[in-house]
Structure 1
């Protein structure tokens, strides 16, 4: 694993990243909750972008991977700020954002806040508003009470360690929602979703498609695919979706 470079953000956080030079629109990969930039999808897409001569950036949000700060001190708003800082400092012109799970939510926040820097979107099991919907529900009544009264609560995960959810994450998540207010996406968008996703239900993808407005929005459901969406077939579908978005912008190879 090669050593990352670092970006100091306007908020004083230090973001670890890898960047590959190439033509634009470039690609920026936005990872998931408690994930990092060394995941299968991020590294695979980086290799694909290099083979196409396409600029590419992957990075760790603050509190994730090799970036600064403690995870429990962060929230969706902070991680969206990190993504926007990466867009501003490490890319040129509009970019195609590829967002996985929470990264799909953050991609939508970026598209809403800085549409001039977004050429298109590809989301993989996008989880918009999950802090106030699925995560809040998963806490249950006891967990909800504890996180609000004590400030932190742990819930089991299907990965290495339990998720540590804080009151700050919940309260900030309520401020970052996208499904309860207009969501205009004037760029080509491809939503990808597996039907066997154990973390994000198919209804979330359907709701997002129904709620967002734009001239070129498409949802692909993959029967049997899980939340990781990392089989060879799923990775090929991600590549193809990026190619579709680039073609719609007039920038395909």
Structure 2
């Protein structure tokens, strides 16, 4: 056609079958609550990671890349500034956004309590490791202070699914569960996009402007209440050490 030897492309009349998309999985609110209760009662060291994925939809790399400087427990907010990824055998801690697009998410009370517990647990781990502890500001670490391998975390997550007796899903599907539960709570789509950051920050600033922080906090409060029954006890309740 480019060389004008043919007047039309006969391949254009061929009907190509539509590729079926793989059906994604997500938990119900009861299944998500069961999962968290299982992790809490077992004092799973990844408990706070699970909470952040299910309540504010953090991606695996984002939650594992969190630094304590990104967390404001007194203000109950969390900034998603970095992500931890292994690429071609190397572990990278990369920025997720520019200074011009800085933003933070409000934490539900369940998330704040889980992070306080995590801080106390990390202080105990530091004392136990002694000189073997590696310096750093990671929120989630191994027993020696080094960052958690993303693939190892996926294995922890799968093992907890089995222990909790809930359907086995991927970590990314757990993030999708957060979106599903927010939809079930009739949260406005713009607020959900604000919470989950479905697109790049620079492309969604107009959405952020329309999703008020008050609406975002109320949506996350509802989700936290849905996943955290009043009688629940945090692992290691009563431990000292607040950030």
TM-score tier after normalising by the smaller chain length: under 0.3
Give TM-score, length-normalised by structure 2: 0.25
TM-score by length of 1: 0.24
Task: Please say which structure displays the higher CA radius of gyration.
Answer: 2
Specify which structure has the higher proportion of helix: 2
Q: Which of the pair is proportionally richer in strand?
A: 1
